[in-house]
Amino acid sequence: MYIDHALSARKLPEIPEDREEILRVLSREIYGSLPSAQPAAAEIDSEDANAYAGKATERHIRVSFSVPEGKFSFPATVLIPNAVHRPRLFVHIAFRPNVPDRYLPAEEIIDNGCAVAVFCYTDVTSDDGDFSNGLAAAYPRTGAESSGKIGLWAYAAQRLADALGAWQCFDMERLAVIGHSRLGKTALWCAATDERFSLAVSNNAGCSGDALTRGKQGEHVADITGRFPFWFCENYRRYAGKEERMPFDQHWLLAAIAPRFVLVNAAEQDLWADPESEFLCCAAAGRQYERMNLDGFIADDRPPAPGDFNGAGRIGFAMRSGGHFLSRTDWNAAIRFWKEKM
C-alpha cells in the first residue's frame, strides 16, 4: 500500500500520546518557548459599518497587552459580515497590511459568512535576526530555547484572539488561524499551543511546517536554518545535515492540534515545500487522532494530485495546480473544510 510503505520508509519517530510532551519537545528543539499569556484589549481607531456595499463592518484596531517593563501594541483590521449573527472568525497572519489583498479575497470571505481579522506580521517584529525591535525587544534571546520569530508572531495572533473574544460578537467556538509559507508554520504553532483555535490552516508551509522532514524533497533544515535561523530557537540548527537525529518530525506538530481540525493546502509546483511530504505528514499525524477513536486523515491510497480535496477526517488536505501562493482556491478550500466540519 502506497501510504503505509511511504511512511515506513521515512522511519518516523513515534508521536507521544501526551500532547504536553509533544509541545515540550517542539518548544525545546525547534520553535522555542512562548512568553506567558497576557490579557489583551482592542481599541477601535476607525469603523465603517457599511463597507463592501453595506455587507460588512470594517474596523481598524490596535491590540495592546502587557510585556516586561511596559505595554506592546500592534494594528489589525477586522471585517465582520453584517448579515450573520456571531460569525465564525479567521485570524489571518498576513505578509501585508492591505485589506483586501492579493492574498486576501476579503469580499469572498464575507460573502461566505465568515469574519476575518488580519494583521501584518512585520508590525509585530521584523522578519530578520534583529531581536531589538517590536515584540522581540520585549522577549530577546536569552538561551538556546528562547522563542524565534515564528513563536512571537504566533503569540501575537493569540493576543489578537484574546482581544476579539472580549467583543462577544464572534462565535469563539469556531475560531481559526490561517497563514501562508512561513506564516503557515506560524499558524500551526499558534493552534498547537492554544486550544481555543478549533482549526489551523497551513498553506504551502513545507519545511519545518506541514511537511515531513525525513525523506523530504526541496528545502531541508540546513537550508532554512542557514537563511532564516531567527525563525526558530537556536537548538534547531543542531539538526542541519543531521535530520535523522531529530527526536521528532513535523507530524508531531499537526498531532499536537488533535482532536481539533487541521487543513494543509498544497500546490503541485511548490517543490520546495514538497506536496508529497505534506500529504504524508497528514497521514502520519492522523494516527494520533485514531488513538482518540476519531477519523484522522482519510484519502485515496495514492500520491496526491491537483484537484484533490481530502476532507472526510479531522485532518484535511487540498492540492491545487500552480505554485507557492495563497489564492482564492486555497481560501475556498479552507472555508469549505471548516463549514463541513462545524
DSSP for 278-315 reads: HHHHHHHHHHHHHHTTS--B---SS---TT-EE-SSSE
How far is C-alpha 127 from the chain's CA centre? 16
Query: Which candidate in 27, 147, 181, 208 is catalytic?
Result: 181
The pLDDT tens digits of the residues spanning 256-279 come to 999 999 999 999 999 999 999 999
CA distances from 194 to 69, 154, 171 (A): 25, 10, 16
Residue 324 falls in the annotated catalytic set = yes
Q: How far apart are the first and last CA of the chain?
A: 32
The pLDDT tens digits of the residues spanning 211-268 come to 999 999 999 999 999 999 999 999 999 999 999 999 999 999 999 999 999 999 999 9
CA distances from 155 to 33, 52, 105, 158, 198 (A): 10, 30, 25, 5, 16
The confidence score (pLDDT) of residue 254 equals: 98
The confidence score (pLDDT) of residue 88 equals: 98
Cell of 54: 453595506
Pairing of β 175-180 and β 199-203: parallel
Mind listing the pLDDT tens digit of every residue in the chain (342 residues)?
A: 899 999 999 999 999 999 999 999 999 999 999 999 999 999 999 999 999 999 999 999 999 999 998 999 999 999 999 999 999 999 999 999 999 999 999 999 999 999 999 999 999 999 999 999 999 999 999 999 999 999 999 999 999 999 999 999 999 999 999 999 999 999 999 999 999 999 999 999 999 999 999 999 999 999 999 999 999 999 999 999 999 999 999 999 999 999 999 999 999 999 999 999 999 999 999 999 999 999 999 999 999 999 999 999 999 999 999 999 999 999 999 999 999 999
Picking from 50, 240, 31, the residue whose alpha carbon sits closest to that of residue 147 is 31
Query: Which candidate in 60, 73, 146, 324 is catalytic?
Result: 324
